Structure 1
Amino acid sequence: MGRFSRIESPALTRLSIAVWQQFADDLRLQDAQTQQFRSLQECFTRQLKPGLRPVDARPEIVSSPCDALIGACGRIQGNQLFQAKGFPYTLEDLIPDERVAARYRNGQFVTLRLKSSMYHRFHAPVDCRVRQVNYISGDTWNVNPIALKKVEKLFCKNERAVLELECGHPDYCLTLVPVAAILVASMKFHFLPEPLDLTYQGANRIPCDARLQKGEEMGYFQHGSTIIAFASEQYHLCPGIAEGHSIKMGEALLSGHPVTGTKTSTETTPTPDI
């Protein structure tokens, strides 16, 4: 599928999109900066018209890093959380670094599933710094609800990356875990030199130094997938965040203590033009 999606043929791309739209009636290409794509991959990774994803600028708010359907979410019970009802896994199963996993005991988690028809780019949920990406190679199971109810510890088996977000407050911790899935199974981070996929042969712990403003684009999936957001126990879910809820990038996801010295505006700001 990855090879097919990279074929540059406008005619083949138009045909592929037409077939795709028969199965995904929520594919909203009118929101894209362009409706003319040289390849199916260009359509998957499309950018949106400016201003379509305003970002909640309140400093106590952690905004959604992506468009998504919310899966399991809520308080982590010690180190245990759920991919679906009756399918538990532990922090240590998903995050192999015990130091990082320990920060989220009794914290909050939200599973954000990107359908194939959704906007595939993901953004910084807060002002932050990323110093390292921990890449974990693995399987490429589908991450749809049917698979989550049948495959035990699916997220812990799939290819994924762990991104600690330094937010300027040592007691308020945030980590994103993008999880790749079936078909293309590729993650591209703008602050790393090459995509992360099953052909990657480099180190698992990849150093970087990315300083990101809230709403700034971090990268993209080359097909639908999942991001699991972890927050330390000082945070709580924002009103309306529940399983099955649809959320847009930039909307309020979690709420915590404002960072000292940051203005407390309630306005929203447009997505930075990357």
Structure 2
Amino acid sequence: MGWYSKIQSPTLTSLSISIWRIFSPDLDFSEAKKHSFNSLHECFIRQLKEGVRPIDTYKGGVVSPCDGIVGSHGKVDNGVVYQAKGFPYHVADLIPDKALQKRLQNGCYVTLRLTSTMYHRFHAPIDCEVDKVTYISGDTWNVNPIALTRIKNLFCKNERAFIELKTGHKDECLVLVPVAAILVASMQFHCLAAPLNLRYKGPNVLPCSALYNKGDEMGYFEHGSTILVFASSEFVINEGIRQGQRIKMGEPLLHKATFR
């Protein structure tokens, strides 16, 4: 699919999108900068018009890093979270970093699933610094709700990366975990020179140096997937967040427990 999506042919791309719309009628380019594309890859990673994703400016808030559908969310209970009801997994299996595991104890998490028709770029949910990206090669299971109720530890099996977002406050800990999935299974981080995918054979820990303001673009998936947001106990999930809700990048997701 990765090979097919990068074929440069406006005619083939237009035909492919027409067929795609038959199965996914919610495919919508009204917010996109471009309405026609030379390849499906261009379509998947399309940018949006300026201003269509306003960033919530609440000082103590953390916004959604992407467009998505809210999945399982709640407290990190003794290192255990859920991919779906009755399907727990350990944070340690997802994020093999003992220091981060300790800091996320008693924190919270939100699962955000991107469908294939959605905007595929992800953004900084808070003002932060990133000094490394840790990449973990793995499987490419589908991450839809059916798969999440059939395959144990799915997120822990799939190709993924995790990134600590340093806010300048030593007690705070925020971690993004982009998880790749079926078909293209590739992630591009703007702070790294090359994309991360199953062909990548380099080191797992990739040093970088990047500063982001809340809402700045961090990278993109080359197809739909999932982003897991983990936060330490200094943050809580906004009361209005519920499973099945569609959320847009820039909308409120978490807030500091000391802010109201």
- Give the corresponding residue for 2:173: 173
RMSD of the alignment, in Å? 1.2
- TM-score norm. by structure 2 comes to 0.98
State the match for 1:269 in structure 2: none
Q: Which residue of 1 aligns with 2:86?
A: 86
Is contact 1:62–1:252 with CA below 8 Å preserved after alignment?
Answer: yes
Q: Deviations over 1:200-244 (max 9, x none)?
A: 011100000010110000000000000000000121111221111
Residue by residue over 1:168-190, the C-alpha shift from the partner in whole angstroms, topping out at 9 and shown as x without a partner, is 11112100000000000000000
Counterpart position of 1:52: 52
| Alignment deviations for residues 29-56 of structure 1 (CA, whole Å, 9 cap, x no partner) | 1111011100000000000011000000
| Equivalent pair of 2:234/2:258 in contact (CA under 8 Å) | no
Name the residue aligned to 2:206: 206
Q: Are 2:237 and 2:254, in contact at CA under 8 Å, matched by a contact in 1?
A: yes
Counterpart Cα distance in 2 of 1:177 and 1:258: 25
Q: Which residue of 2 aligns with 1:24?
A: 24
Aligned mates of 1:229, 1:46 — CA distance in 2: 23
Counterpart for residue 216 of structure 1: 216
- For 2:31 and 2:24, the matched residues in 1 are separated by 15
How do residues 119-158 of structure 1 correspond to structure 2 at under 5 angstroms?
119-158=119-158
Closer, same or farther in 2 for the Cα pair 1:131/1:104, shift >3 Å? same
Q: Specify the code of the residue in structure 2 equivalent to 1:72.
A: S
Tell me how many residue pairs correspond in the alignment.
260
CA distance in 2, matches of 1:95, 1:226: 15
Report if the CA contact (8 A) 2:190-2:218 is conserved. yes
The residue identity in structure 1 corresponding to 2:243 is: E
Equivalent in the alignment of 2:4: 4
Amino acid at match of 2:212: L
Instruction: List structure 1 segments (4+ residues) > 6 angstroms apart after TM superposition.
Output: none
The aligned counterpart of 1:250 is: 250
Match of 1:185 in 2: 185
Instruction: Name the amino acid aligned to 1:46.
Output: R
Letter of the 1:207 counterpart: P
Offset from partner CA, 1:51-93 (integer Å, 9 cap, x none): 0000001120000000000000011111000000000000101
**2:167 & 2:66 partners in 1: Cα distance?**
19
Unmatched runs of 5 consecutive residues or more in structure 1: 265-274
Tell whether the 8 Å contact from 1:59 to 1:258 is kept in structure 2 after alignment: no
Residues 104 and 10 of structure 1: CA distance in aligned 2, closer, same or farther (over 3 Å): same
| Letter of the 2:194 counterpart | E
Aligned partners of 1:164 and 1:176 also within 8 Å: yes
**In the aligned structure 1, how far is the partner of 2:41 from the partner of 2:258?**
39
Q: Deviations over 1:98-145 (max 9, x none)?
A: 111111111100000000000000000000000000000000000000
Distance 1:209 1:124 in 2: 14
Alignment partners' CA distance in 1, 2:256 and 2:203: 34
TM-score, normalization: structure 1?
A: 0.93
